[in-house]
């Protein structure tokens, strides 16, 4: 328990201090326009980009994390007089309760299947090595190279790696529910978008009901949480900065950085770019393109694409037309096969009992019936959770009639909703697309002929009840299974652990497995070659 709490505090401090350093360097005193949780989430995404950049030159070992802690202490001390965050007693009480909830979540978390598919081995390799060129040959999912896994590699201590995976997931969960709660309690009356607080109420209800297992987070749920933050952040500041050119440019650049980070977690979140695009269309693009902030955006894009290219030979893996075929380590053929395999799996072809071959099965939505029969329970679960969240919202709020009128934010959210439907059709896995369910709630508010405002006592009472509900689920789960928080014993109990097997490719030593040695993967490099370029290992064909 001590490790969980201490590592949570250390990682949280690193994230916050990095946000403070970045905003103070780039925007000077303008960073004071953002609150504690906004600075922390901005710091989280900057720490992610930092981890990607550092891994070009160093393994993401604990020593880099310790160095970051010292830099953060110095910076926070120097800027201490600027840090004024006023939260009332109710907020402070619930921040503590949310913290207790998250610690219970971390303690009671097992592991999802993706950990031993490629998440664990990706993190282990980054902990112990800088980028290995062509490392996608070690595991054909390494090429997806999610920035969230890079962040996991940076924010962990090697000897507690399995535990620290849950700590980072707990931090993003804590940040978002605390942020939304404080925003609702403080009631941002300066914002002219009528449904902002209503939307945030639905979100916090939904998350406290549905997100009770950190083991299920993977890379998808952190992406959903960050996407929800981006939408809220956009709506909140869109009108506040509308007529303030300097702050509007700051806001736009931060928004784009958030979107670059989010799509670097998973490309299916790409619809988030619609939000900053709205601002850019209104603005003078020529003036923004050549600012120092824009140059930093270009740098972030370059390091993301360059990292992807080193690992898989593709700018965006597994989109095969982005693969650079003249690179000896390109994964174009692997990307094509992976796309076909995932299409087969995502659309439930293996559960189909008819006579159609795969090609015809995928045409004209022939897959819908089989897919629906396999996923109906999960779909109903999500819709039921959303319904309960709406009912709780209606209980905790009052309404009055309004004149129906669509504004630019409404149109943007509607457009994002339909883009997400298109993306869902191509990859219909419900856990990938929680945003589609959440956006349906946004659509309700857009077309409703009512405005809502919350009743504080009801709202706080419901949040407390949901906290007890979420906390109780974890305690019951721990007691029922006699769960002991020992990650290495747990992976052996569930039959995941196998000792890594040492392999050789010329003078390059690697391991087959997913943990305990590095570099590690699940493939034998029989048809590959290896060479050194300076201090970099290159695996190629």
Interatomic CA distance for residues 231 and 420, integer angstroms: 14
d(CA 33, CA 147): 27
**C-alpha angle 352-356-362 in degrees, rounded to nearest 5:** 80
Cβ-contact 398, 453 below 8 angstroms = yes
**Nearby residues of 463 by Cβ (< 8 Å), 6 or more positions away:** 94, 181, 204, 208
3-state SS string for 505-526:
ECCEEEEECCCCCCCEECCCCC
**Distance between start and end Cα atoms, the chain:** 47
Kindly indicate the confidence band of residue 380, based on its pLDDT and cuts at 50, 70 and 90.
confident
**Under a CB-based contact definition with an 8 Å cutoff, are residues 180 and 174 in contact?**
no
* Token couple for 396: 């905790």
Residue whose tokens read 């009108």:
239
pLDDT score for 481: 58
DSSP annotation string for 139-166 = -TTGGG--HHHHHHHHS--GGGHHHHHH
Predicted confidence band of residue 8 (pLDDT cuts 50, 70, 90):
very high
**The tokens of 183 are what?**
């925003």
Determine contact, residues 95/178, Cβ cutoff 8 Å. yes
pLDDT higher than threshold 70 for residue 195: no
- Tell me the pLDDT of the chain averaged across its residues: 84
Q: Is the pLDDT assigned to residue 486 strictly greater than 90? A: no
Side by side, the strands of the sheet bearing 520-521 are 501-505, 508-512, 520-521
Pair of tokens at residue 53 = 């950049």
Q: What is the DSSP secondary structure assignment for residue 283, as one 8-state letter?
A: S
Please say whether the beta carbons of 514 and 116 come within 8 A.
yes
CA angle 236–29–272, rounded 5-degree value: 35
Helix residue spans in 79-158 (DSSP H)? 89-107, 114, 120-128, 147-154
Record the tokens describing residue 466, joined without a space. Answer: 């949901």
Give residue 403's pLDDT. Answer: 65
Percent of the chain past pLDDT 70, that is, above it, reads: 91
Extract the tokens encoding 256: 């784009």
Distance CA 135, CA 539 (A): 7
In 3D space, the residue among 44, 78, 391, 89 whose CA is nearest the CA of residue 222 turns out to be 44
> How high is the pLDDT of residue 69?
95
Instruction: Determine the angle formed by the axes of helices 2-27 and 62-78, rounding to 10 degrees.
Output: 60
CA distance 15 to 448: 38
CA 515 – CA 499 distance, rounded (Å): 8
432-445 pLDDT per residue, tens:
778 887 787 777 77
Residue 404: pLDDT band with limits 50, 70, 90: low
Q: Cα(397)–Cα(391) distance, rounded to whole angstroms?
A: 10
**CA 500 vs CA 214, 386, 438, 494, 521: distances in Å:** 27, 43, 41, 17, 9
Which tops the pLDDT comparison, 303 or 219? Answer: 303
Say how many C-beta atoms besides its own lie within 10 A of residue 516's C-beta. 14
Q: Where are the alpha helices (DSSP H) in 241-273?
A: 245-265
Residue given tokens 């922390």 in the structure block: 40
Give per-residue pLDDT as tens, 42-60.
999 999 999 999 999 999 9
Residue 140, token pair as written in the block: 């054909």
Residue 332 near residue 314, CB atoms below 8 Å: yes
Q: Phi and psi at residue 139, in whole multiples of 5°?
A: -160, 125
Residue 400: per-residue pLDDT: 65
Question: What pLDDT is recorded for position 283?
Answer: 67
461 pLDDT exceeds 80? yes
The pLDDT confidence band at residue 164, using thresholds 50, 70 and 90, is confident
**Which two tokens mark 332?**
């174009």
Helix axes 2-27, 89-107, angle to 10 degrees: 130
CB 413 within 8 A of CB 368: no
Residue 194 has pLDDT above 70, yes or no: no
Whether 431 shows a pLDDT value over 90: the answer reads no
- Do residues 228 and 438 touch, judged by C-beta distance below 8 A? yes
Looking at the DSSP bridge assignments, the partners of residue 190 are none
Mean pLDDT score, 470-489 = 74
User: Phi and psi of 84, rounded to 5°?
Assistant: -125, 105
Burial string for 209-230 (b: 16+ CB within 10 Å, else e) reads bbbbbbbbbbbbbbbbbbbbbb
């Amino acid at each position: 328990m001590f490790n969980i709490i201490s590592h949570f505090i250390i990682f949280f401090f690193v994230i916050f201090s990095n946000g403070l350093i970045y905003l103070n360097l780039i925007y000077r005193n303008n960073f004071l326009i953002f609150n504690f949780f906004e600075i922390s989430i901005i710091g989280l995404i900057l720490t992610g980009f930092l981890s990607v950049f550092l891994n070009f030159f160093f393994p993401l070992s604990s020593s880099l994390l310790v160095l970051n802690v010292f830099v953060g202490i110095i910076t926070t001390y120097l800027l201490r007089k600027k840090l004024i965050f006023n939260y009332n007693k109710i907020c402070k009480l619930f921040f503590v309760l949310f913290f207790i909830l998250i610690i219970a979540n971390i303690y009671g978390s097992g592991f999802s299947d993706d950990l031993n598919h490629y998440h664990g081995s990706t993190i282990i390799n980054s902990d112990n090595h800088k980028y290995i060129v062509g490392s996608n040959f070690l595991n054909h999912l390494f090429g997806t190279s999610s920035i969230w896994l890079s962040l996991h590699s940076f924010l962990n201590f090697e000897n507690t790696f399995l535990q620290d995976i849950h700590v980072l997931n707990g931090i993003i969960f804590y940040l978002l529910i605390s942020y939304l709660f404080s925003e609702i309690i403080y009631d941002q009356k300066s914002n002219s978008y009528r449904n902002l607080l209503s939307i945030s109420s639905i979100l916090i209800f939904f998350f406290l009901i549905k997100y009770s297992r950190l083991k299920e987070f993977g890379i998808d749920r952190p992406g959903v949480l960050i996407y929800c933050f981006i939408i809220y952040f956009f709506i909140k500041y869109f009108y506040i900065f509308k007529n303030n050119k300097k702050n509007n440019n700051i806001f736009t650049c931060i928004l784009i950085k958030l979107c670059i980070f989010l799509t670097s977690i998973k490309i299916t979140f790409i619809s988030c770019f619609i939000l900053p695009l709205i601002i850019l269309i209104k603005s003078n693009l020529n003036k923004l393109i050549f600012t120092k902030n824009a140059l930093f955006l270009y740098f972030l894009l370059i390091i993301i694409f360059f990292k992807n290219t080193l690992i898989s030979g593709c700018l965006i893996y597994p989109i095969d037309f982005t693969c650079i075929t003249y690179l000896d380590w390109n994964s174009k053929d692997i990307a094509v096969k992976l796309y076909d395999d995932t299409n087969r799996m995502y659309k439930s072809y293996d559960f189909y009992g008819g006579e159609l071959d795969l090609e015809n099965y995928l045409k004209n939505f022939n897959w819908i019936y089989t897919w629906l029969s396999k996923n109906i329970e999960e779909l109903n679960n999500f819709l039921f959770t959303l319904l309960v969240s709406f009912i709780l919202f209606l209980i905790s709020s009052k309404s009055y009639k309004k004149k129906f009128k669509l504004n630019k934010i409404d149109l943007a959210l509607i457009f994002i909703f339909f883009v997400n439907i298109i993306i869902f059709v191509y990859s219909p896995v419900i856990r990938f697309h929680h945003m589609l369910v959440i956006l349906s709630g946004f659509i309700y508010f857009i077309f409703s002929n009512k405005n809502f405002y919350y009743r504080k006592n009801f709202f706080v009472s419901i949040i407390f009840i949901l906290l007890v509900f979420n906390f109780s689920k974890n305690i019951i789960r721990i007691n029922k299974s006699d769960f002991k928080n020992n990650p290495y014993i747990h992976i052996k109990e569930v039959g995941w652990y196998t000792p890594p097997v040492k392999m050789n490719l010329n003078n390059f030593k690697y391991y087959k497995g997913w943990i305990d040695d590095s570099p590690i993967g699940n493939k034998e490099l029989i048809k590959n070659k290896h060479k050194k370029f300076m201090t970099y290992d290159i695996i190629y064909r």
